[in-house]
Copies of this chain bind each other. A is one copy, B any other.
Amino acid sequence: MSKPLILVTNDDGIVAPGIRALVEIASEMGEVVVVAPDSPQSGKGHGITIHDPLRLKKVNVFEGIEAWECSGTPVDCVKLAKHVVLKDRKIDLCVSGINHGSNASINIIYSGTLSAAMEAALEGIKSIGFSLDDFSFDADFRPGTPWIRKIMQYTLAHPFESGNLLNVNIPKLPADKLHGLRICRQADGRWVEKFVEGRDPSGQAYYWLSGVFVNSDKSEDTDILALQNGFISIVPSMHDLTNYEAMGSLKEMEDF
């Protein structure tokens, strides 16, 4: 049997340590091709580039691994991988990350890492976004490695429904404090934001986004609680945003 073809991408950019850690794990189990942004793209959500052309350049970043850097968003990277770089080839798995920072709870909708994974899922590719709850550039990705390996092996071995992806978050803990995997739902948390206001060198006002994440969702099956308890959270996620419960009560609007 031929080795599986694994696409690796991220949103922190092709030189981030997190993608390097993921490339190393992926290359143990398949043929790896990297298509990742040429600059940090955190918080780009499901953004795509419509009004500008995209650039794509083959680069030598990972020893012995085919790698391309792209001028666009993480979602652009997946589209270019599917339709240009790996055109006519079947991609068996897409892994995105490892993100420097958590993408649990509501962060999934802002995250370029998870949006890339969702885009792959929309293309019918099995897809996983990995994030470590540590924003620092020097984050230690080693404790999570055996668990990432396990999740990728499971995913390669089992069928997934088109349009689905896994949102995997790893707590910042040493290896002996990681208790295992938990299948969770997305906690209903929010960012409480404020803008730092200032003046630039020419005297013009600016506003810079800042904020803290607050989770008021106290139920027992959330990703946030799993992380707090030392587990790696796995939220099976999808692209259907319909609020089915609300459909019934809103029916009366048709005759309003």
Which A residues fall within an 8 A CB radius of B?
Answer: 40, 42-51, 53-56, 73, 75-76, 79-80, 83-84, 106, 108-110, 115, 118, 122, 150-151, 153-154, 161, 163-164, 166-167, 180-186, 188, 190, 193-195, 197-198, 200, 204-209, 234-244, 246-247, 250-251, 253-254, 256
Shortest C-beta distance, A182 to chain B (Å), equals: 6
Find out whether the CB atom of B50 lies under 8 angstroms from the CB atom of A43.
yes
State A190–B208 Cα separation when bound (angstroms).
35
Find out whether the CB atom of B185 lies under 8 angstroms from the CB atom of A247.
yes
Given the interface pairs A183-B253, A250-B183, A253-B181, the reply to whether A42 lies near B53 with Cβ below 8 Å is no
Query: Which listed residue (B209, B235, B242) contacts A49, Cβ 8 A?
Result: B209
Find out whether the CB atom of A49 lies under 8 angstroms from the CB atom of B43.
yes
Given the interface pairs A151-B253, A247-B236, A253-B183, the reply to whether A45 lies near B115 with Cβ below 8 Å is yes
Find out whether the CB atom of A209 lies under 8 angstroms from the CB atom of B242.
no
Chain B residue contacts of A47, Cβ below 8 A: 43-47, 73, 110
Best-buried of A73, A151, A246, A254 by chain B (most CB within 10 Å)? A246
Find out whether the CB atom of A110 lies under 8 angstroms from the CB atom of B49.
no
Chain B residue contacts of A251, Cβ below 8 A: 183
Chain B residue contacts of A75, Cβ below 8 A: 45
A207 to chain B: closest residue by CB: B54
Apart from A84-B195, A109-B118, what are 20 other A-B pairs with CB-CB below 8 Å?
A43-B47, A44-B45, A45-B47, A46-B109, A48-B110, A53-B198, A53-B206, A79-B195, A83-B193, A83-B195, A84-B197, A106-B122, A109-B241, A150-B256, A164-B243, A167-B241, A183-B254, A234-B253, A236-B247, A239-B241
Find out whether the CB atom of B40 lies under 8 angstroms from the CB atom of A51.
yes
Best-buried of A167, A241, A242 by chain B (most CB within 10 Å)? A241
State A42–B236 Cα separation when bound (angstroms).
28
Shortest C-beta distance, A245 to chain B (Å), equals: 8
A246 to chain B: closest residue by CB: B236
Find out whether the CB atom of B209 lies under 8 angstroms from the CB atom of A54.
yes
Query: Which listed residue (B166, B242, B256) contacts A185, Cβ 8 A?
Result: B242
Query: Which listed residue (B154, B180, B184, B241) contacts A241, Cβ 8 A?
Result: B241
